[in-house]
Every structure is written in structure tokens, then in C-alpha cells.
Amino acid sequence: MKSKLMLVLAIIMGLITTFLFYNYMETLKEEKLSNSKMATILVAKQDIRKNQKISKSMVILKQVHEKSIHPQTAKNLSEIENQIATANIIKGEPILKHRLQNQAEETQFVSRKIRKGYRAVSVGVNMVQSVTNLIEPGDLVDVVFSEEIEESNKEKVVRTELILQQVRVLAVGRKMVESTKENPYVEYSAVTLELRQNDAVRLVNTQERGNIHLVLYSKLK
């Protein structure tokens, strides 16, 4: 009986010792964090989409412990100027410089803008079909197809249908970034769209048969 009592007491003392040691380590950890230096970083104020140009209104400054900062974390607003996200950035996530691309660099290769599993295909447009050349790279559009067909009574009618929705614009003419003071507006006669392979084939086929019109989405939330 005495040996069993000693065993129980030993287990209890062991649990108490473990609990006290754990509390001591947590207290020590908190003291180290409180004594560490704080630094300011940039975090996303909202969700930022891949290939979206980052503006100062999309980020906020946040104070964090200096030791917890990733080496690639942006700390100054000047580091995000004219930058485009190369991946989706979630609200509250630190802005990492290696996930940004300078807008000037993006003008060189449209292939860098195409998402995995998609293709780039261009369609010819005039002023009316392109919303009077007001469509910009990065916009979303619907694709409307119309063709003249002859019915059984020999009467010709125009048939119109919506064939694609929420298609991302990669480029207008040879311009692959939105118009700015440094990269001003230019007229164009072709728009390059990002599509799945089957949709790209469908678009080429319909363009050969009739007319394509692009319908622009609003960017207002």
C-alpha cells in the first residue's frame, strides 16, 4: 500500500513540475518577444488578385516584431510603386517583394501573364467592337458573337449569342499594361484574351463565321 501511495505522489509531483516548467518557458518566451524590436511592414488591406496593379490604397502599415519579419517583406510604400502581383495576396498578408513584378517588366512578355492551363488568342476589333478602344489590359469582358443566317423561307436574319463570359484581357494591340502617364493610351485593332484551349478554338471559329463584340465589366465593387 505504501509503495502505491509513493507512486501516486511521484506522478502528481511530476505533473506539477511539468506544468511549472511549461509556464516558465511561456513566460520567458513572452518576455523575449516584448523585449524584441518592433518594425513597420506593409500588409494587404484587401484581397489582391494575380496580375493586378498594386496601389497605395490597397495596403496598410503594420507594426510587428522585427525577428518575425520575412527578409523579402516590403516595408516602404516606394517598394510597391508600379508593381504588379504575380500571385494572389490575401487580406492581412504581408507584401513580399519576390511576389511583385515591375510594370515595365510586364510589357516585355505576354507569356508571363498567362495562367497555367490557359492560352492567349487575339481577335480583330474595330472601335465599336472594343467599346471605342476603352478596354484595357487586365479588364474582364464578355464575348458576344453575331452572324447573318438564312432561314428556310430565304429571309436573312442576324443571330446573336453570348459565347464567353468574364474573359481576362491580356493585351490591347501590343500594350500589356494599363494606360498611365508613362504608358499612355494608344489606339488598337486587336485584343488578346486569356482562354482555355477549347474556348480559344471556339472563338477563332466564330470569328471566321461572323462578328465578335466585347462587352466590358465594371471594376467597381
Domain boundaries, the chain: 38-107, 110-216
Beta strands in the chain (DSSP E): 38-44, 59-65, 83-85, 100-102, 119-124, 140-150, 156-172, 190-195, 211-216
Phi, psi of 100 (to 5 degrees): -120, 155
* Domain at 38-107: CATH code: 3.90.1210.10
Q: Are 188 and 172 in contact (CB under 8 A)?
A: yes
Q: What is the pTM of this model?
A: 0.55
Q: Are 106 and 112 in contact (CB under 8 A)?
A: yes
State which of 4-18, 20-34, 58-72, 206-220 shows the largest mean pLDDT.
206-220
| Long-range CB contacts for residues 111-116, cutoff 8 Å, separation at least 24 | 113/51, 113/170, 113/176, 113/194, 114/170, 114/194, 115/50, 115/194
pLDDT in tens, 62-119: 988 887 888 888 988 888 877 888 788 999 999 998 888 776 555 556 777 888 899 9
